[in-house]
Each structure stands twice: as C-alpha cells, then as structure tokens.
Amino acid sequence: MAILLDGKKLAQKLKSEILEKSVVMKSAGNTPALAVILCGDDPASAVYVRNKRKDCEECGFDSLEYKLPADYGEEKLLALVESLNQDPKVHGILVQLPLPRGYDETRIIHAISPAKDVDAFHPFNVGKIMIGEPGFLPCTPAGVMLLLEEYGIDPAGKECLVIGRSNIVGKPMAMLLLRKNGTVTIAHSKTMDLASKCREADILIAAVGKAKLIKADMIKPGAVVIDVGMNRDENGKLCGDVDFAECEKVASYITPVPGGVGPMTRAVLMKNTLQAAEESQRNL
C-alpha cells in the first residue's frame, strides 16, 4: 500500500511557520496583506475565496475582499487593480479566475504589479520561472515540489510525466521538475497512447480535470502519484484525476483528494504573500 503524501499536515506546518514571521512583521507595523477580487457568482470560486480568508486569518495576515457583481465592468476592474497596485498596505493581489464572460483575463492579469502578483501569473514572473531567477513560484506546482521534498522524493534523473499543459499548473509544474533535474514529459489531450507514457513515469502528476482518469494499470509499480485534480464523481463526491482506491495499491507514494495538493496550493499563496510583504519592507 502506498504511503500517503499528507498535504494537509505539511500545509499546517508551513502556515504556523508563516504566522511566526508575520507576527514579527505586524509588531513592526507591516502586517502582510492579501487583496482578493471575486467578480461574479461562480460557486466554486466563492468557496476558494472563503478558504483564502481563513488561511489569511491563520497566518496573521490582513485580508481584503472585493466581491464585485459580474457586470462590474472591465475598466472599473482595471482601475481597482491599479489602486491596489499603488496601495502600500497591500502586498499581494489575487484576481480569482475564471472571470465572468466578457472580461479579458489576460489584460487584467497583465495589469497586476509583478511585485504583488502572488499567483505568479504575470508574464514577468512566468519568465523568471522559465530562466530560474528568484521570484514568486506558482502556487500549485510549488506546493507539489514542497510535498515531494518533505517526503525525501528527489526528481533528479527520474522520468516525470505531467499530464496537462495549463498555464496555471502543467507548464510551470514541468519547469519546476526540470529545475530539479527531472526528465520531464508533458502529456495532454492530443497525446497518443497516454497509458504507455504513464507506465514509464517514476513521478506522475495528473492535472487534467477528469475524474478517475488514471487507473492502476497505467501506474508503474512503485511510482509516486500526485493528483492535482478536483472533480466530482458519479455520486457527486469529491475526487481527483486518479482512481485512488485502485492506484494506492500500485504506487509507492500517493496524494489523497482532498487533503493532498489542495492545501499545499493555499499554503504557497500565503508563503508568496509573506514574501511580497518582506520584499516591500526591504524596498522602503
């Protein structure tokens, strides 16, 4: 039976370390602060935003929430982002995606100051990730890397398969594994014979968004299986991209859903916000 990669536990540890640092910053008059913009009424986004507020509380951060109607308007949203860019009390800015139809997401993301872009979505920060310069790391991929490190799993020289090529997870995940000297393959919806690619992987990362796509016969015995998926199964129960019950019998390590990658993503967002606050203090 595979060993569980307990993201919930590690995230808790990281958040308590962050709290210790933020308490010190608060007493020096520089409380880390995250501004979250939620535009429209996507129910999943509302849950994510609520969780972020809870994380901020646990880390001793100020959290500013902007709940905007779907018809708020792109120009007004840009003006809000600009005012947050200028506000010295705000260190991180997160615009919850997806935005309602009619908004140009790219334009909004480009408007966020790279110094406050705690999602690491701005092309300036994406470029830094590509060339390995220090900066914000994307929350989910960095969370996965911390989880691997915690359990002593070193990607160096291993066959790493990332399934999914999104800008938020797949592409930056591949870059971070490459930085750690993994031999990285990216599979996607057009990949032929996904199963055989999976069977070659020592570290398999599923970020597709298809419930239980990855079955036990696709896993190399002893492989490390990381599940970034967050789906509902046929009974409406939360599940990942990996068929956990089957695959935990074949893998050496596996993340549960929930309690694996999700809490790590949230912890890295807090880590990035702390980093933004520290940098702003340095630049005073």
Q: List the catalytic residues.
A: 52, 96, 119
Q: Give the three-state DSSP class for 149.
A: helix
Q: Which of residues 149-188 bind ligand GUN (CB under 6 A)?
A: 168
Closest-CB residue for ligand GUN? 97
User: Measured from the CB of residue 191, what is the shortest distance to ligand GUN in angstroms?
Assistant: 23
Name which of 94 and 277 has its Cβ closer to ligand GUN: 94
The residue type at 133: E
What Rg do the C-alpha atoms of the chain give, in angstroms?
A: 19
| Only segment of 6-14, 23-31, 88-96, 146-154 that touches ligand GUN (CB under 6 A) | 88-96
Smallest distance from the beta carbon of 119 to ligand GUN, in angstroms? 5
Among 59, 77, 90, 94, binds ligand GUN (CB under 6 A): 94
Count of residues that interact with ligand GUN, criterion CB under 6 A: 7
The token pair that represents 60 in the structure block:
């001793």
Nearer CB in complex with ligand GUN: 77/95:
95
Whole-number Cα distances in Å, 60 to 32, 53, 63, 112, 122 = 8, 11, 9, 24, 26
Choosing from 63, 96, 272, 280, the residue that interacts with ligand GUN (CB under 6 A) is 96
Binding residue (CB under 6 A) for ligand GUN from 25, 49, 77, 139: 139
Q: Which of 4, 70, 97, 178 binds ligand GUN (CB under 6 A)?
A: 97
Pick from 18, 34, 81, 95 the residue near ligand GUN by CB under 6 A: 95
Output phi, psi for 157, to 5 deg: 75, -5
**257 near ligand GUN, rule: CB under 6 A:** no
Burial 86-102 (b: 16+ CB within 10 A, else e): eeeebbbbbbbbebeee
In this structure, the number of other CB atoms found within 10 A of the CB of residue 73 comes to 14
Query: What's the closest the beta carbon of residue 245 comes to ligand GUN, in angstroms?
Result: 26
Q: At what angle are helices 139-150 and 170-179 packed, to 10 degrees?
A: 40
Contacts of 142 (CB under 8 A, 6+ apart): 176, 268, 271
Q: Which stretch binds ligand GUN (CB under 6 A): 23-31, 90-98, 251-259, 274-282?
A: 90-98
Least separation in angstroms between CB 97 and ligand GUN: 4
Report how far residue 26's alpha carbon sits from residue 43's, in angstroms, rounded to the nearest whole number. Answer: 33
> Quick one: 182 or 262, whose CB is closer to ligand GUN?
262
> Judged by CB under 6 A, does residue 225 bind ligand GUN?
no
Site for ligand GUN contains 119 (CB under 6 A)? yes
- Which residues share a beta bridge with 239? 231
Q: Is residue 41 classed exposed, middle or buried when 0-12, 13-18 and 19+ CB atoms within 10 A define those classes?
A: exposed
Q: Which residues of this protein are in contact with ligand GUN, per CB under 6 A?
A: 94-97, 119, 139, 168
